[in-house]
Amino acid sequence: MVQQSQTRFDASFAALSDATRRGVLEQLGRADASITDLASKFHMTLTGMKKHVGVLEQAGLVITKKVGRVRTCKLGLHPLEDEAAWIERYRQLWGTRFDALDKVVEELKGKEKVDGRQKRE
């Protein structure tokens, strides 16, 4: 189970690592679109857009359906909830660390002020 989850995370994050693919997901969040429409919107060739859509489809983020000569794309059934939870755990971890660092910096500033006053006296 852990291996399957890790593979899914790898596919999701790899798909999301590209700005064009993130843009495609945003576009599909507004409305379904054909690969031709997406290619036009992103100023790409059909072949290039098919590759991007293929990566998104492998990650479960996009579903395509071919009717005649038109392949229509829509958001997939993979809602990224597990990935968002993983990111949130690290956000909290780093938040805690930055809070601790802020305390150290404030202590050092306070000590610096006290030491500066003592040298002047």
Tens digit of pLDDT per residue, the chain (121 long)? Answer: 455 567 888 999 999 999 999 999 999 999 999 999 999 999 999 999 999 999 999 999 999 999 999 999 999 988 888 889 989 998 999 989 998 898 989 988 888 777 666 655 5
Look up residue 64 and give its DSSP letter.
E
Same structural domain, 60 and 101: no
Q: What is the pTM of this model?
A: 0.74
Query: Does 85 lie in the same domain as 67?
Result: no
* Contact (CB, 8 A) for 55 and 76: no
Q: Quick one: 67 and 107 in the same domain?
A: no
Say if residue 65 is in the same domain as residue 117: no
Q: Which residues fall within 8 angstroms of residue 92, CB to CB, at 6 or more apart?
A: none
User: Does 116 lie in the same domain as 69?
Assistant: no
Per-residue burial over 74-109, b if 16 or more Cβ lie within 10 Å, else e, is eebebebeeeeeeeeeeeeeeeeeeeeeeeeeeeee
Regarding whether 89 and 70 lie in a shared domain, the answer is no
Looking at the fold, whether 65 and 85 belong to one and the same domain comes out as: no
Domain count, the chain: 2
Q: Structural domain of residue 89, as residue ranges?
A: 80-121
